[in-house]
Amino acid sequence: MQSELENFTSADSFGDLVLRAASDSSAAAELVSVLLPSIRSMARALDPKISEDLLQEGLLGALAAIGDFDSGRGDAKAFLLTCAKNKMLSSIKRNSPIGGCGEESEELPEFTEAEAAERERFEQLNSAMRSVLTKRERNVVELYISGLSYREIADVLGADRKSVDNAMQRARKKLRTELEGQVHKQS
């Protein structure tokens, strides 16, 4: 089954849709239907427990950014998905009890041993991604983790599918080497 995002084979046709959506509600509705699967995947990847709330925030972020899109400055899909992700991250940060934003009386959740170990592995992976991957490799991995296919990642980044595949293979190799090195250091 072909995804809605794949219907837009060139950045130009998607960019045209974005420009039309600024003044045409039917184009805006079509844009929402095209972006919805990608934003939903990002929301689930960020926090599955509140993914529906994050989805709404992401859609609002993308819709609010339509008027700010400048076709001469970059890829429309990358711009709107970045705005959506930033809106979701801001929502998480704004509503987080950590850092004084929430009620002082809220208790932090207790983690089981398995959850704590999973969190530690996540932190190791995140640290390894920041330290050994190039910005391009990190972008590819983050988009892949958020649920996008190689074709969708290529569309978002304005690259071909083969370069996305190559970046992913390099990233996997670097991360495997780095994480295995961390395991050996702890032993």
Cα 10 to Cα 65: distance, rounded to the nearest angstrom: 20
Place of tokens 């991604």: 129
Within-domain flag for 182: yes
Domain boundary among 82, 102, 122: 102
Q: 76 and 136 share a domain? A: no
The neighbour count for residue 72, using CB atoms within 10 Å, is 5
Q: What is the pLDDT of residues 35-61, one digit of tens each?
A: 888 888 888 888 888 888 888 998 888
Within-domain flag for 134: yes
Q: 152 and 90 share a domain? A: no
Q: How does residue 9 score in pLDDT terms, banded at 50, 70 and 90?
A: very low
Output the furthest CA–CA distance in the chain (Å, rounded). 61
Cα 20 to Cα 31: distance, rounded to the nearest angstrom: 10
* Mean pLDDT to the nearest integer, 138-150: 82
Place of tokens 């702890």: 186
Read off the CATH number of the domain in which 118 is found: 1.10.10.10
The total number of structural domains in the chain stands at 2
Query: Whole-prediction pTM value?
Result: 0.50
Q: Could you tell me which of 33, 7, 27, 11 has the C-alpha nearest to residue 156?
A: 11
Q: 97 and 140 share a domain? A: no
- The domain in which residue 126 lies consists of 112-187
Spatial contact of 140 and 155, defined as CB atoms under 8 Å apart:
no
Q: What is the pLDDT of residues 63-97, one digit of tens each?
A: 888 888 777 777 788 888 888 888 888 888 887 65
Within-domain flag for 107: no
Paired tokens of 89: 């991250």
